[in-house]
Structure 1
Amino acid sequence: MTRFFPLLIAAWATFGLMAVSAQAADVAANSRPNILLIVADDMGYTDWGGFGGEIHTPNLDKLAAQGQKFSQFYTAPTCSPTRAMLLTGIDHHQVGMGSMLELLRPNQIGVPGYEGHLTHQAVTLPELLQDSGYRTMMAGKWHLGLDPAQDPTQFGFDQSYVMLLGAASHFSDEAPYAPNYPPIYRHNGKQVHTPENFYSSNFYADQIDTWISKTPTDQPVFAYLAFTAPHDPLHVPDAWLERYRGKYDGGYDQLRRTRTEQLVELGLLADADLAAPLPAHVPAWHELTATQQAQSARAMEIYAAMVENLDANVGKVIATLKREGRYDNTLVMFISDNGANGIMLQQNPIVTPGWVAEKSDNRLSNLGRKGSRPSTGPGWALAGTAPFALHKLFISEGGVRSPLVVSGPGVQPSAAPVTAITTVRDIMPTLLEVAGVTPPDEYQGQKVLPIEGRSMVPLLKGEAATVHPADTEFGFELFGMQALRKGDWKASNINRPFGTASWQLFNLAEDPGETNDLAAEHPQRLQQLIDAWLRYAQRGGIVLPDKPIFGEGS
């Protein structure tokens, strides 16, 4: 999409701004940073070395050591809503992803904001970067629309090779994730099949490598690498299958304790006793049979290998940037789209009973290979979200708090984790600022919604300690579960048996595990937060589902 409008081009070394025209942008393009935006799919808060995990992630760890890692970065509880906010800087309820397409309830269908695909109510990050002279490229998971009119090519990407749906086999067999849910792949808008040697993470990184190598060196690059790993089904190439053999035989209870203790050593948690306990619906490791333990531990071994393989592919793209002489002028951002996944594939509402067992070769010897469909389940997910409560799908901290790493020119390295509250909506305004692009009020003759996020640039430069004012209200809603955070206080309403199906109140500074409900002690404060959530819901046009999707409502 070509469009000319006045731009502000950043002199990146100093973040000084000078006004130039769009035509002059091409001349000055090589002074602007390349941008590598990396998203992991369902990777937990502690599933990497930077936050105390045992999984080998040297490339992510190095990026964190050279830049900044954020300990209070918020997403949505699932993938599509997070991705919508990532590319627009706006709450997902306002840009078509009020809920997941696959889980829309009848009372939500046809309601503005619940289209089930990214809409043009907002202008996207790649559209603005493309218009300003960037070469824009995307490989991996799209999950923001199926129709050709909803393809990445229609939202500002020059090059794309994407899987349109939420999950599938990571191999070339294109085995579906669920019944009536066949994977759809598109290359630059044309439907294709994956090549014979396809493994998701390897292939998507290779695509980005190829496109970067073919881009003129004087043209800045925006590369969006959206891995489908480590989302289930858990698969990894044969060469990686033995990497973590026996590593998790001690079980998920032990792993969660170990990771929690590591968080204390890193200064990310004041005391290990502040971690949320294992929920009642999750059996303790010793309660599993020997067969169940073997299957479960093997699934976690494969998951860990997937994360390490993802990290290796991050390293591969970084090597390409160095070979092309771009790395020193590349801003790298890494996030996970939500908390670790604690729902077994066969428990997913879009999967019919018995389908996984009937259609999968889940023998212990075949787990991780073609034909298998293993998942880690809630125990391992809770180790991944330690020290927080619950996991993906929920508006508890374990579902919406994810790792964020930022490294590159203009980023002041910080040995200590950055504790400022940030959200996925802050990424677009941050990247636009470093690219020297001012977001417009109108785009292609249509008025667009204003960006809600705030630029992190002052914080990245070391010139500010926060991104948002202290009284900022951060609202959450998905599948009818609700939350609002303001300062250290958070009110939340989570369905039974995962919560109480009523509003609760937590002080996250004192109780990061959300275990001590203070609603009875501070009823006025709770009501203030509920009122703030109602304002958030009204602004966003939120429509609660007519029936609970997970658990039971009030």
Structure 2
Amino acid sequence: MNKRIFAAAPLLLTPFVWAQEKPNVVIILVDDMGYSDIGCYGGEVLTPNIDKLASTGTRFTQFYNTSRSCPARASLMTGLFQHQAGIGQMSEDPGSQKKNGDKDKNDWGTDGYKGFLNRRCVTIAEVLKESGYHTYMAGKWHLGMHGQEKWPLQRGFERFYGILAGACSYLRPDGGRGLTMDNTKLPAPEAPYYTTDAFADHAVQFVNEQKDDNPFFLYLAFNAPHWPLQAKEADIQKFTKLYRSKGWDKIRQARYKRMAKMGIIDKNVGFAEWENRSWDELTEKEKDESAYRMAVYAAQVHCVDYNVGKVIECLKKNNKLDNTLIFFLSDNGACAEPYEELGGGKQEDINNPSHSGMPSYGRAWAQTSNTPFRKYKCRSYEGGISTPLIVSWQKGLGNGKGELCRVPGYLPDIMPTVLEATGASYPQTYHGGNPIYPLAGTSLFPAIEKKTDSLHEYMYWEHQGNRAIRYGEWKAVRDQTGTVWELFNIEKDRTEKHNLAAQNPELLHKLIKEWDQWAARHFVLPKHAGDKEQTN
């Protein structure tokens, strides 16, 4: 990354900080939601509160995540690449500790793959707390759980309510996938209970209980709409007829038309490869069951929306909305696990409180959620790494009109954006004098304010063998299933249909070399202790 930009970053802090009091900061993160699910990005799911937020802010059309949940959270919270923070692959989860008391199975013995946030990084909460902020978190942590020193309160948060694990039952979180309040593990909740509601309610409670006028940072990290498929029946019934009557073919077409009309995508981009049957090829039973799965998924997204409405209403009542910087985004593209067309798990297990894993809605609906892009969660194609991003801050940026920002950005940019808005200082040392890695990102404000058409010369990705690098209009990808790199002109072909590697060998070689150098500098390779350095 451009170190000149990092060195200049403190000089950029003054315009906002001098002009007004420090803003509150709210980051709302959803889990496994596709690029086109919400209304303001073309979806048919009912999301009026999120859409209203977008109408007063800026929507990014080319914002990227890491393609997987815990690495995305690591990058988001630290402003680094996830490997620098220690979570290049997966984070600790229930059952991931080895029985002999040795290292967790997600600790591969190298710096980039420890399975928890290391002490060479700082979280947004740690930085803002040093600057006089209250720091609250509700929802899914997934950044380390075996040892209290890895929990949210030990990483800068003043209050926490949620789950430490990567997934849980929405209806009855229990055991290793149960709830924690601050540093205390809680028993399974009594029915009726629903995580999305409870996470938002506790977020609101933390804000309402604040006794002083100091600014606050709220990180609201929903587990929705990650599997298992569990939603309230009243919400499900808002969608069952729609998906049964339309099916995924018509839903994709309708989304595409709305996205093109909004300007979210180019009207000529077309659809990426389709890996499933057409809707009409399904049996009537398959249609019934698959439509119901999508209805439950949509209900999970819809529930997120009216809980976002609760948070916004809380800010209004406390006269804090105008001076609150709000981000809304997803941690990765929609989830196709277990990579079967119609999903995983038994139909009868939908809404079973004892389930914290499958059932899921399947590959076909995941590709629909990612309309019109290629692939899904875990992959480095656009369907895996593209996220909606809404940024709203009325006092700092003015009352927006739902403008679109087409400048590419990604998760390491969130921390620098927060630092610029708040005037907080990023430390060189922390955790008892440990040297802290320099930020990997840059502030999004120049892009939002239309002062630049580029934030990064290069952008980089790696997860689970999926590799990518973007350079201007070009993107090179090496998929987990492939042995060679592909090359796409992402401005003309964002659905990645036309591999131009053969026509541009020198450019591709340049990008591969740049990716290799980045990987060596940022603990991407080697992955396992004892491995030799991997090169292309």
TM-score (norm 2): 0.88
1:200 corresponds, among 185, 191, 195, to 195
450-459 vs 133-142, greater mean Cα deviation:
450-459
- What is residue 430 of structure 1 aligned with on the other side? 417
- CA deviations on 1:373-402 (whole Å, 9 max, x unpaired) are 431111111111111100111010100010
* Identity, % of aligned positions: 36
The match for 2:5 is none
Q: Deviations over 1:457-480 (max 9, x none)?
A: 2333x25134514xx111111111
Alpha-carbon displacement from aligned partner over 1:156-213 (angstroms, at most 9, x marks no partner) = 0000012111111101253x8xxxxx41422111111242132111000000111100
Contact 2:65 2:385 in 1 (8 A): yes
1:248 is aligned to 2:243: yes
SS class of match (2:242): coil
Tell me which of 303, 306, 311 is aligned to 1:309. Answer: 303
Q: Distance in 2 between matches of 1:118 and 1:426?
A: 18
Matched, 1:370 2:373: no
Is 1:233 aligned to residue 228 of structure 2?
yes
Judge conservation of contact 1:140–1:225 (CA < 8 Å) in 2: yes
**CA-to-aligned-CA distance 1:497-553 (integer Å, 9 cap, x gap):** xxx44211000111010010001111111111111110111111223668xxxxxxx
**1:268 corresponds to which letter in structure 2?**
I
Cα distance in structure 1, aligned partners of 2:474 and 2:314 = 44
Q: CA RMSD in A?
A: 2.6
Q: Which amino acid aligns with 2:199?
A: Y
- Paired positions, count: 502
In structure 2, the CA distance between the partners of 1:126 and 1:329, relative to structure 1 (3 Å rule), is same
CA distance in 1, matches of 2:107, 2:526: 8
Following superposition, the deviation at residue 330 of structure 1 comes to 1.1
Residue 540 (structure 1) aligned with residue 530 (structure 2): no
Equivalent residue in structure 1 for 2:89, among 99, 116, 134: 99
Q: 1:217: Cα distance to partner?
A: 4.4
Deviation at 1:231, TM superposition (A): 0.4
Task: Find the residue that maps to 2:26 and give its secondary structure.
Answer: strand
1:449 maps to 2:437: yes
In the TM superposition, 1:215-230 aligns within 5 A as 215-230=210-225
Task: Identify the residue that residue 459 of structure 1 maps to in structure 2.
Answer: 447
- Specify the alignment match of 2:60 in structure 1: 70
Answer yes or no: is the 8 Å Cα contact 2:378–2:384 preserved in 1: yes
Aligned residue identity for 2:363: P
1:477 equivalent in alignment to 2:462: yes
What SS does the aligned partner of 2:506 have?
A: helix
For residue 102 of structure 1, report the CA deviation from its aligned partner: 6.5
Distance 2:396 2:134 in 1: 21
Deviation at 1:495, TM superposition (A): 3.0
CA-CA distance at 1:370 after TM superposition: 3.1
Q: Is the 8 A contact 2:38 2:45 kept in 1?
A: yes
Give the whole-Å Cα distance in 2 for the aligned partners of 1:219 and 1:9: 24
* Paired position in structure 1 for 2:491: 509
| Of 104-113 and 390-399, the range deviating more from structure 2 | 104-113
Q: Helix, strand or coil for the counterpart of 1:225? A: strand
- Per-residue CA deviations over 1:187-245 (Å, capped at 9, x if unaligned) read 11111124213211100000011110011241111110000000010111233231112
Alpha carbons 1:260, 1:272 under 8 Å: kept = no
Partner Cα distance (2:126, 2:203) in 1:
18
Partner Cα distance (1:434, 1:107) in 2:
35
In structure 1, distance between residues paired with 2:525 and 2:129: 34
Residue 403 of structure 2 is matched in structure 1 by 416
Secondary structure at the aligned position of 1:417 is classed as: strand
Structure 1 runs not aligned, ≥5 long: 1-7, 19-29, 177-181, 348-353, 547-553
Distance 2:295 2:483 in 1: 35
Deviation of the 1:293 alpha carbon: 1.8
Cα distance in structure 2, aligned partners of 1:58 and 1:217: 32
CA contact (8 A) 1:10 1:17 kept: no
Conservation of the 8 A alpha-carbon contact between 2:90 and 2:106: no
The whole-number CA distance in structure 2 between the counterparts of 1:345 and 1:183 is: 24
Amino acid at match of 2:28: I
1:334 counterpart (328, 332, 346): 328
Conserved? CA contact 1:236–1:369, under 8 Å: no
Which amino acid in 2 is paired with 1:160?
F
8 Å contact kept, 1:480–1:545: no
Matches within 5 A, 1:144-293: 144-146=143-145, 147-172=147-172, 174=174, 182-196=176-190, 197-249=192-244, 250-272=246-268, 274-279=270-275, 282-293=276-287
The offset of 1:289, in angstroms, is 2.4
Which residue pairs with 2:139 in the alignment? Answer: 140
Aligned-partner residue type, residue 309 of structure 1: C
Cα gap change, 1:93 to 1:367, in 2 (>3 Å): same
Which SS does the other structure have where 2:54 is aligned? Answer: helix
C-alpha change, 1:293 and 1:320, in structure 2 (3 Å) is same
**Which is worse superposed, 249-258 or 444-453?**
249-258
TM-score normalized by structure 1? 0.85
Structure 1, 190-199 or 160-169: larger mean CA deviation: 190-199
1:109 positional shift: 1.1
Kept in 2, the 8 Å contact 1:488–1:508? The answer is yes
Distance change in 2, residues 1:73/1:98 (3 Å): same
Q: SS of the residue aligned with 2:241?
A: coil
Task: Return 97-106 or 134-143, whichever deviates more.
Answer: 97-106
Q: Deviations over 1:32-82 (max 9, x none)?
A: 111111000011110101111111111111111101010010110101011
For the residue of structure 2 that corresponds to 1:382, the secondary structure is: helix
> 1:27 aligns to what?
none
The AA in structure 2 aligned to 1:223 is L
1: distance between equivalents of 2:327 and 2:137? 14
Which has the larger displacement, 330-339 or 256-265? 256-265
Q: 1:264 and 1:101, CA in 2 relative to 1: closer, same or farther beyond 3 A?
A: same
Query: CA contact under 8 A between 1:237 and 1:369: conserved in structure 2?
Result: no
For residues 467 and 164 of structure 1, do their structure 2 counterparts lie closer, same or farther at Cα, with a shift above 3 Å needed? Answer: farther
